[in-house]
Chains A and B, each alone.
Chain A
Amino acid sequence: EDQVTQSPEALRLQEGESSSLNCSYTVSGLRGLFWYRQDPGKGPEFLFTLYSAGEEKEKERLKATLTKKESFLHITAPKPEDSATYLCAVQALRDQGGKLIFGQGTELSVKP
């Protein structure tokens, strides 16, 4: 069964304290892995898509990496405005309809 597990469930950081969020997945053929940011009461906002192991993408203080079993979202010198829930999702090769399988998310809190 295809599955996505994110850890930790919640993470509290001080401003400037770098860390990483983990997304472990099992899927029968990966079509793509997606990272989203979600602020309270709002819809998820797209951050990155990763397609193959070894791929990396960066946006401001965020960097996403991908291996054959997991993805990491590295946050360098975070600021309070980075506080949000970060969602990971995978899409299987066999799924032509674009269906995503989501993890539970990691709730990040950055204190000044």
Chain B
Amino acid sequence: DVKVTQSSRYLVKRTGEKVFLECVQDMDHENMFWYRQDPGLGLRLIYFSYDVKMKEKGDIPEGYSVSREKKERFSLILESASTNQTSMYLCASSILAGGRKETQYFGPGTRLLVL
């Protein structure tokens, strides 16, 4: 079974803090993704990575950065947390394309509250 884990289920941070969200997958997947999920807005892609040290902006990258130093680990960084970044953050991973149809597998999510 594919397993995607996230470092925290719940986090409470203060405005202006630097926040790190960690995601680890154990299936040797090339692709990794960070989404945020908000009521009425659905899942929105923040950043994704298709290889170590590679990253691509998603639909809402402003205020976020990412790091992928190892294949199994993908970190989301909130440089200076703001209250509008209060959300559920979801990490996902999938195998590389090349004729194969990828399925994204999700972690359990991190619910972040910024005060």
Contacts and interface: CB of A to CB of B under 8 A. Distances in A.
Contact of B111 (A34, A41, A87): A41
A17 B42 CA distance: 27
Given A43-B106, A46-B105, A99 B48 contact: yes
Contacts of A45: 106
Interface residues of B, number: 26
The listed residue with most A CB atoms (<10 A of its CB), out of B58, B90, B106, is B106
Contact of A103 (B42, B48, B102, B104): B42
Interface SS of chain A: helix, strand, loop or mixed? loop
B25 interface: no
A42 B108 contact: yes
B84 to A, nearest CB: 20
Contacts, number: 61
Nearest to A101: B45
Contact of B102 (A42, A91, A102, A104): A91
Nearest to B49: A97
B55 to A, nearest CB: 11
B109 A34 contact: no
The listed residue with most B CB atoms (<10 A of its CB), out of A31, A51, A97, is A97
B90 A44 contact: yes
Interface residues of A, number: 24
Nearest to B29: A98
Interface string B10-25: 0000000000000000
B108 A99 contact: no
Given A42-B108, A44-B106, A49-B103, A97 B42 contact: no
Contacts of B56: 97
Interface of B: 4, 31, 33, 40, 42-43, 45, 48, 50, 56, 58, 90, 92, 94, 96-97, 101-109, 111
